[in-house]
Amino acid sequence: MTKAMTIPNGAAPGDVLELTVGEAAHGGWCVARSDAPGDQGKVVFVRHALPGERVRARVTSRTTRFARAEAIEILQASPDRVEPPCPYARPDGCGGCDLQHARPAAQRAIKAQVIRQQLRRMAGIEREVTVEALPGDPAGLGWRTRVGFAVGPDGTAGLRKHRSREVVAIADCLIAHPLARARDVTGRSWPGARGVEVTVSPGSGERSVAVSGPARSRGGNPRPWLTQHAAGRTWRVSAGGFWQVHPAAAGVLTEVVLAALRPQPGDVALDLYCGAGLFTGALAGAVGAAGLVTGVESDVAAVRDARKNLARFPQVRVHRGDAAQVLAERGLGGASLAVLDPPRAGVDRRVIEMLAPALRRIAYVSCDPATLARDLAVFAGLGWRVDDLRAFDAFPMTHHVECVATLTTGPGG
């Protein structure tokens, strides 16, 4: 057992602190306060712990303002604690899963608390939030349809440690969908490769294995794209292109977006960051031949997929480019509705400022509570409000969560 210690000038990486853990924080951490000499009151962000626990935690890094640590011994356990189902979900192990040591319901409660925290701190919004489970495995395993494996210098495929380039050799990944299970990737050598990405389509049974680096791609789908299924139809999605990794997420989110926007025949709508066209297609069906839907996407392959997927809708236009640039050049085209599904970095402020004066309803789909809250604050400053916010556990066992905020402006929305 490592001996707990403190240092007069503060705790250094490798030192072990005894801590009482407080609330969860964005990113898979819990917050504690150090009482080590030289560090009294300093924030310590702790992984592998749960709110309310007393732990011994090994410091992994520190700055002048805070330290990071991993709980290596649980002195007083939370009633929500369970044994992680995966042997690699541990301190100094795989960095992919943050919450395997908590019951699924407790994981969702932690994510809801983090969303509330970000809304309050960054947007001044006080709102109750419930994170809803998606249909599928209630244990939170076997859902991930895309898994990116890193390859170490010896050619072994595995997963990286948290905040590290070091590769942890694994035999299997328990959150991977059965079609994406790791044994045929981790059980062989990949000399010269930097990484191996496995992507699957549960509905069609298709599987793609893409190798990055000098090694050539091996096995998998002979086509450069997979057929995904959601919202009552099939979608072509290029291998490596964006698609929701939980099998149920695309369909559920489409229903929520349509409920948020309430599109009517003849409406004009925008789908920014449209990817392969999932929401564009749903909106096209709702606005009908008398309406218009414009999708905007920067990725070349995704634009190609979207145009292929939406070719049967004459009321759809798909433009390639940066969202702010496309809107500045082409205008909003009379749109009154928009869905925003940006990457983790959130929406460019210029986009918000162009949309705010013209639209009446917006559905904002976000995989990052911090950038969502930041952008909601910008919308609020321009006269918009959050009418509804739903959150979904689209990434069980991890700290990630998917949100859909419904934004409206004017009396009664």
| pLDDT mean over 282-305 | 98
Place of tokens 């496995």: 198
pLDDT at 38 over 90: no
Sequence-distant (≥ 6) Cβ neighbours of residue 153 within 8 angstroms: none
pTM of this structure: 0.94
The predicted-structure confidence for 358-406, as pLDDT tens digits, reads as follows: 999 999 999 999 999 999 999 999 999 999 999 999 999 999 999 999 9
Annotated domain spans of the chain: 16-81, 112-136+246-409, 146-224+233-238
Structure confidence at residue 317 (pLDDT) = 98
Distances (CA, A) of 123 to 245, 284, 343, 401: 28, 32, 19, 18
Rounded distance between C-alpha atoms, residue 97 and residue 170, angstroms: 14
Note the CATH architecture for domain 16-81. Answer: Beta Barrel (2.40)
pLDDT at 140 over 80: yes
Tell me the HSE value of 154 on the side-chain side, using a 13 A CA sphere: 8
Q: Domain 112-136+246-409 classified CATH 3.40.50.150?
A: yes
The predicted-structure confidence for 11-33, as pLDDT tens digits, reads as follows: 899 999 999 999 999 999 999 99
pLDDT band at 273 (very low <50, low <70, confident <90, very high): very high
Residue of 97, 274, 367, 403 marked catalytic: 367
403's tokens? 């949100």
**Does the annotation count 403 as an active-site position?**
no
Q: Do domains 16-81 and 112-136+246-409 have the same CATH topology?
A: no
pLDDT at 70 over 50: yes
Distances (CA, A) of 318 to 282, 303, 349: 14, 7, 22
The predicted-structure confidence for 300-327, as pLDDT tens digits, reads as follows: 999 999 999 999 999 999 999 999 999 9
Structure confidence at residue 213 (pLDDT) = 86
The predicted-structure confidence for 210-249, as pLDDT tens digits, reads as follows: 999 874 554 556 678 999 999 999 999 998 899 999 999 9
